[in-house]
C-alpha cells in the first residue's frame, strides 16, 4: 500500500495531457461562439464568367443604388459573400441581385459564420446545423428501377427486331414478357435456332432461355441490370445536382441512400413548390448539323442570323450556329455510355440508337462527312414567380449545346463521339445524352420542410433546455456533494465543450434530437461522478483515511463506469446504424457524449480532486 502522500497525485504529463485536450476542445468549439450572419452567396453559373474584384464593385454598386445596407462583401475563391445584419435585408437583396444579375450567376441565401476569417483559415468551423435547426427542405427521392429495366427492355425489343430482320430470320412476334425479359415467337424450331445463334453473336450480353414450344426468351443478366440501375441512379444524381445549382442553394446535399434513393437537402429553401418545379424539369435532346457557311462569332456579335440557322450557346457561353432542321431527337437514343476510344485510347462516348433513329442518322450523315454535328440539350422548366404580388406560372426552355463533333463516317445504329477533353467530360456527356433520352422516373417519397423562424425557435429552445438542465444538475450535485459537486460540474461543462468541439471537428450534423442527446448525456455523465463519490463515502464510512478513500473510490468505481458506459454505447451505435436523419443526429451526440464523459468525469475530475486534495494531510473530508 503506498503512503498517503503518494496517493492522489498525477504525474505532470497527465495534467499536461488534460490541459492539451481542453485547449484542443476550446479551440475547436470557439467558432460556435460567433453566431451567424444572414448572407447572400453569389457564384458563377458559367466557367467563363469570373467572380472578381470588378464583379464585387458591381454588386456593391447595385446594393448602394437601391440603398440596401450590408455589413460587408467578401470575395472568396469562386464566390462572393454579402453579409447582412438581418434576414429582411438579406431577402430583399437576394431578390434584387437575382433580378439584376440574371441567369449567369447563382444567387443563394446562406447563413455565414461570423467567426473571424483567421479561424476559418485554420480550418475551424462551427457545428453543421441540421435542417430542423436552420430551416430548409429535405427530399427523399426514389428512382423507379422497374421502369428503368422496362425502358431498357423496350430498347432491346426494337434492336432484336431489327437484328432478326437484318439476318433474315422469320419471327411471328417480339415483345416484352409480362414477367420481364423479351419474348420472341417463331414459326418453327429451325427459325428459332437460327435466331438464337444470330442473337448470341450480336447481343451476347442477353441470356437466352427456351420459352414455350416455339419461343425464345432473352433476359438481361444480373450484373448488367445492376450496372444499369447504378447508372440510372448516378444519372439522376448528376441531373439533380445541375438543377440544384441553379436553384441557388448555398450548401446543398445530394447523395445516394441505399440502392435506389437520393437524398436532397436544401438548407434555407422555403418555397418547396419552386424547388419541386426545378428538380422535376424534363429534358430532351436534339442532334443538329452545324452551319458551316457562316462565321459563328460574327453572327453572334452582329446578331444577324442566317435564315436557315439558329444561334445557340455552348456550356462556356460561346456562340454555336446550327441548322434549323433537326436531324434526330433524343428519344431515339437507346443507350449512351462513356469509355475509351479503341483506336487512340482517348475518352469517348458510345451511343446506340433505335431502328428508326439509325435510319435518320444514316440519311443525315452520309452526305456530310467532314462536317460538324452538335448535340443540343433542352430543359423544359416551370417557374412560379411573384409578379405584382400575384403568383404566376411560366414555362420556359433552356437550350444549350453540350457537344460539337466532326462527322468522320456515315453514322448508324451505334456510333461514338471522341475528342473529349477528359473522362469526366465523357461521363457527363453520356449522362446528359441519356438524360435527354430516357431518364428513370423519380418520385418524392419523403419531404420535410422547416421554416426559418421555426428553425431559430428550435435552436433557442434546445439551447435553453440544455443550459437549464446544466444549472439544475450543477445545483443538485453541489447541494449533495459540496466541493466534489462543483468538481463534477466543472467536468460536466468540460464535457459539453468537448462534445461541441468533436461535433465541430467532425462536421457532424447537429439536429434537435441531437441537442436532446447532449442533454441526456449530461444526466448520464454525472452518473460516473455519482458512482465515484458514493464509493468514496462508502470507503470513508468503512473507516478509511480521506486520501485512501478518494483513491479507492476512483479506483473501484472505474470498472462499473466502464461497464455501464459501454453498454449504453452499444445501444447508441445500434441507433446510429439503423437510424436515419434526425435519429442519427441523436445517436451521434449520444455516442460522442458517452466517450467524452468517460474522459472528463473520470480523468478530468480526478485531476481537479488531486489538485485540491492530493498530497495534503486531510483529517476530515466532506463528500
Partner 1 sequence: MGPFSLYNTNIDFLRWRKLAMAWSVAVLLIALLSLLVRGMNLGLDFTGGTVLEVQYPQPVEIPKVRETLAAAGFAAAQTQHFGTSRDVLIRIPPHGDQSNAATLSNDVLRALQTAEGGAGATLARAEFVGPQVGQELVEQGGLAALGALAGILIYVMFRFEWRLAVGTIAATIHDVLFTVGWFSLFQIEFDLTVLAAVLAVIGYSVNDTVVVLDRIRENFRKRRKGSTMDIMNLSINETLSRTIMTSLVTLLSVIVLYFLGGAVMRGFSIAMIIGIVVGTYSSIYIASATALYLGISREDLLPRAKETADERP
Binding to partner 1 (CB under 8 A) within 114-143 occurs at 132, 140, 142
Choice from 378, 405, 524, 611 touching partner 1 (CB under 8 A): 524
Q: Is 402 helix (H, G, I), strand (E, B) or coil?
A: strand
Kindly report each contact of residues 115-120 with a partner whose C-beta sits within 8 Å and lies 24 or more positions away, as own/partner.
Answer: 115/30, 115/31, 115/33, 115/34, 116/34, 117/74, 119/30, 119/31, 120/31
Nearest-approach distance from CB 273 to partner 1, in angstroms: 4
Binding of residue 582 to partner 1 (CB under 8 A): yes
Residue pair 263/138 in contact by the 8 Å Cβ criterion? yes
φ, ψ (nearest 5 deg) of residue 400: -150, 135
Alpha helices for 179-221 (secondary structure H): 189-202
Binding of residue 292 to partner 1 (CB under 8 A): no
Kindly indicate which of the ranges 27-35, 375-383, 518-526, 597-605 contains the residues binding partner 1, using the contact rule CB under 8 A.
518-526
Q: Is 525 helix (H, G, I), strand (E, B) or coil?
A: helix
Site string for partner 1, 384-423 (x = CB under 8 A): ----------------------------------------
Choice from 90, 151, 183, 458 touching partner 1 (CB under 8 A): 458
Kindly indicate which of the ranges 71-79, 198-206, 569-577, 598-606 contains the residues binding partner 1, using the contact rule CB under 8 A.
569-577
C-alpha triplet 313, 316, 317: angle, nearest 5°: 35
Binding of residue 468 to partner 1 (CB under 8 A): yes
Choice from 222, 367, 388, 559 touching partner 1 (CB under 8 A): 559
Nearer to partner 1, 297 or 461 (CB): 461
* Ranges assigned E (strand) in 407-520: 414-417, 442-450, 509-510
Kindly indicate which of the ranges 16-24, 310-318, 410-418, 461-469 contains the residues binding partner 1, using the contact rule CB under 8 A.
461-469
Kindly indicate which of the ranges 196-204, 230-238, 291-299, 586-594 contains the residues binding partner 1, using the contact rule CB under 8 A.
586-594
Binding of residue 537 to partner 1 (CB under 8 A): yes
Strand pairing report for 442-450 and 136-143 = antiparallel
Binding of residue 476 to partner 1 (CB under 8 A): yes
Binding of residue 88 to partner 1 (CB under 8 A): no
- Cell (9 digits) for 566: 459501454
Nearer to partner 1, 140 or 169 (CB): 140
Kindly indicate which of the ranges 151-159, 173-181, 237-245, 563-571 contains the residues binding partner 1, using the contact rule CB under 8 A.
563-571
Per-residue three-class SS string for 347-392: EEEEEEECHHHHHHHHHHHCCCCCCEEEEEEEEEEEEEEEECCEEE
Kindly indicate which of the ranges 11-19, 151-159, 285-293, 508-516 contains the residues binding partner 1, using the contact rule CB under 8 A.
508-516
Nearer to partner 1, 44 or 449 (CB): 449
C-alpha triplet 132, 254, 397: angle, nearest 5°: 110
Nearest-approach distance from CB 513 to partner 1, in angstroms: 5
Choice from 16, 472, 506, 612 touching partner 1 (CB under 8 A): 472
Nearest-approach distance from CB 607 to partner 1, in angstroms: 22
Kindly indicate which of the ranges 110-118, 179-187, 327-335, 570-578 contains the residues binding partner 1, using the contact rule CB under 8 A.
570-578
Nearest-approach distance from CB 492 to partner 1, in angstroms: 10
Binding of residue 579 to partner 1 (CB under 8 A): yes
Residue pair 204/165 in contact by the 8 Å Cβ criterion? no
Nearest-approach distance from CB 579 to partner 1, in angstroms: 7
Query: For residues 119 and 116, what is the distance between their CA atoms, to the nearest angstrom?
Result: 6
In the block, residue with C-alpha cell 435552436: 459
Kindly indicate which of the ranges 151-159, 427-435, 473-481, 494-502 contains the residues binding partner 1, using the contact rule CB under 8 A.
473-481
Query: For residues 500 and 127, what is the distance between their CA atoms, to the nearest angstrom?
Result: 7
List residues bridging with 444 in a β-sheet: 141
Query: For residues 339 and 350, what is the distance between their CA atoms, to the nearest angstrom?
Result: 7
Q: How many residues bind partner 1 (CB under 8 A)?
A: 76
Binding of residue 322 to partner 1 (CB under 8 A): no
Site string for partner 1, 22-61 (x = CB under 8 A): ----------------------------------------
List residues bridging with 399 in a β-sheet: 378
Choice from 94, 233, 249, 522 touching partner 1 (CB under 8 A): 522
Per-residue three-class SS string for 487-516: HHHHHHHHHHHHHHHHHHHHCCEECHHHHH
Nearest-approach distance from CB 462 to partner 1, in angstroms: 7
Query: For residues 401 and 44, what is the distance between their CA atoms, to the nearest angstrom?
Result: 18
Binding of residue 598 to partner 1 (CB under 8 A): no
- Cell (9 digits) for 458: 428550435
Enumerate residues 417-456 that contact partner 1 by CB under 8 A.
443-451, 453-454
Q: How many CB atoms lie within 10 A of CB 263?
A: 18
Radius of gyration of the chain measured on its C-alpha atoms: 33
Enumerate residues 226-285 that contact partner 1 by CB under 8 A.
270, 272-273, 276
Would you give the end-to-end CA distance of the chain in angstroms? 23
Residue pair 32/510 in contact by the 8 Å Cβ criterion? no
Choice from 560, 595, 599, 603 touching partner 1 (CB under 8 A): 560
Nearer to partner 1, 340 or 575 (CB): 575
Mark 494-531 as b/e (b = at least 16 C-beta within 10 Å): bbbbbbbbbbbbeebbbbbbbbbbbbbbbebbbbbbbb
Choice from 183, 236, 568, 605 touching partner 1 (CB under 8 A): 568
Nearest-approach distance from CB 464 to partner 1, in angstroms: 5
Nearest-approach distance from CB 394 to partner 1, in angstroms: 17
Strand pairing report for 347-353 and 333-340 = antiparallel
Nearest-approach distance from CB 511 to partner 1, in angstroms: 10
- Cell (9 digits) for 124: 475551424
Nearer to partner 1, 140 or 358 (CB): 140
Residue pair 490/498 in contact by the 8 Å Cβ criterion? no
Mark 300-322 as b/e (b = at least 16 C-beta within 10 Å): beeeebeeebbbbebbeeebbbb
Nearer to partner 1, 25 or 522 (CB): 522
Nearer to partner 1, 224 or 447 (CB): 447
Binding of residue 189 to partner 1 (CB under 8 A): no
Choice from 157, 465, 595, 618 touching partner 1 (CB under 8 A): 465
Nearest-approach distance from CB 404 to partner 1, in angstroms: 37
Amino acid at each position: 500500500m503506498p503512503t498517503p502522500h503518494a496517493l492522489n497525485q498525477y504525474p505532470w504529463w497527465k495534467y499536461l495531457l488534460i490541459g492539451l485536450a481542453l485547449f484542443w476542445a476550446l479551440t475547436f468549439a470557439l467558432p460556435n461562439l460567433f453566431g451567424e450572419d444572414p448572407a447572400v452567396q453569389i457564384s458563377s453559373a458559367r466557367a467563363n464568367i469570373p467572380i472578381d474584384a470588378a464583379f464585387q464593385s458591381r454588386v456593391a454598386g447595385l446594393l448602394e443604388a437601391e440603398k440596401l445596407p450590408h455589413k460587408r462583401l467578401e470575395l472568396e475563391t469562386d464566390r462572393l459573400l454579402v453579409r447582412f445584419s438581418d434576414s429582411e435585408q438579406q431577402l430583399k437583396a437576394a431578390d434584387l441581385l437575382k433580378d439584376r444579375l440574371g441567369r449567369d450567376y447563382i444567387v443563394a441565401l446562406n447563413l455565414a459564420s461570423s467567426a473571424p476569417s483567421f479561424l476559418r483559415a485554420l480550418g475551424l468551423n462551427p457545428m453543421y446545423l441540421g435542417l430542423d435547426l436552420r430551416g430548409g427542405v429535405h427530399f427523399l427521392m426514389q428512382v423507379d428501377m422497374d421502369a428503368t429495366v422496362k425502358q431498357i427492355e423496350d430498347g432491346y425489343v426494337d434492336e432484336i427486331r431489327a437484328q432478326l430482320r437484318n439476318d433474315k430470320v422469320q419471327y411471328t412476334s417480339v415483345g416484352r414478357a409480362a414477367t420481364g425479359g423479351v419474348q420472341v415467337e417463331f414459326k418453327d424450331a429451325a427459325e428459332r435456332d437460327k435466331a438464337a445463334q444470330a442473337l448470341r453473336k450480336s447481343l451476347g450480353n442477353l441470356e437466352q432461355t427456351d420459352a414455350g414450344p416455339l419461343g425464345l426468351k432473352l433476359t438481361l443478366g444480373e450484373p448488367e441490370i445492376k450496372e444499369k440501375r447504378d447508372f440510372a441512379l448516378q444519372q439522376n444524381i448528376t441531373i439533380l445536382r445541375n438543377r440544384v445549382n441553379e436553384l441557388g442553394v448555398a450548401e446543398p446535399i445530394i447523395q445516394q441512400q441505399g440502392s435506389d434513393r437520393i437524398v436532397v437537402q436544401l438548407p434555407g429553401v422555403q418555397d418547396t413548390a419552386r424547388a419541386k418545379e426545378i428538380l422535376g424539369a424534363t429534358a430532351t435532346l436534339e442532334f443538329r448539323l452545324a452551319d458551316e457557311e457562316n462565321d459563328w462569332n460574327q453572327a453572334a456579335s452582329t446578331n444577324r442570323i442566317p435564315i436557315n440557322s439558329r444561334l445557340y450557346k455552348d456550356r462556356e457561353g460561346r456562340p454555336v450556329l446550327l441548322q434549323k432542321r433537326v436531324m434526330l431527337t433524343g428519344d431515339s437514343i437507346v443507350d449512351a455510355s462513356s469509355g475509351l476510344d479503341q483506336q487512340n485510347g482517348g475518352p469517348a462516348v458510345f451511343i446506340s440508337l433505335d431502328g428508326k433513329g439509325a435510319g435518320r442518322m444514316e440519311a443525315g450523315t452520309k452526305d456530310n462527312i467532314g462536317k460538324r454535328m452538335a448535340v443540343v440539350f433542352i430543359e423544359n422548366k416551370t417557374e412560379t414567380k411573384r409578379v405584382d404580388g400575384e403568383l404566376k406560372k411560366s414555362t420556359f426552355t433552356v437550350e444549350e449545346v453540350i457537344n460539337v463533333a466532326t462527322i468522320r463516317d456515315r453514322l448508324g445504329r451505334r456510333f461514338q463521339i471522341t475528342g473529349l477533353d477528359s473522362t469526366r467530360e465523357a461521363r457527363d456527356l453520356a449522362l446528359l445524352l441519356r438524360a435527354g433520352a430516357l431518364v428513370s422516373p423519380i418520385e418524392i417519397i419523403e419531404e420535410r420542410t422547416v421554416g426559418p423562424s421555426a428553425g431559430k425557435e428550435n435552436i433557442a429552445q434546445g439551447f435553453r433546455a440544455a443550459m437549464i438542465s446544466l444549472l439544475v444538475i450543477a445545483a443538485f450535485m453541489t447541494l449533495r456533494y459540496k466541493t466534489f459537486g462543483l468538481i463534477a460540474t466543472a467536468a460536466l461543462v468540460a464535457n459539453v465543450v468537448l462534445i461541441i468541439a468533436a461535433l465541430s471537428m467532425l462536421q457532424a450534423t447537429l439536429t434537435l434530437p441531437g441537442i436532446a442527446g447532449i442533454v441526456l448525456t449530461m444526466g448520464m455523465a454525472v452518473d460516473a461522478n455519482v458512482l465515484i463519490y458514493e464509493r468514496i463515502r462508502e470507503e470513508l464510512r468503512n473507516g478509511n483515511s480521506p486520501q485512501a478513500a478518494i483513491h479507492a473510490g476512483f479506483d473501484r468505481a472505474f470498472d462499473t463506469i466502464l461497464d455501464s458506459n459501454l453498454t449504453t454505447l452499444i445501444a447508441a451505435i445500434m441507433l446510429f446504424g439503423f437510424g436515419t436523419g434526425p435519429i442519427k443526429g441523436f445517436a451521434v451526440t449520444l455516442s460522442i457524449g458517452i466517450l467524452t464523459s468517460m474522459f472528463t468525469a473520470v480523468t478530468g475530475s480526478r485531476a481537479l480532486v488531486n489538485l485540491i486534495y492530493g498530497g495534503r494531510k486531510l483529517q476530515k473530508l466532506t463528500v
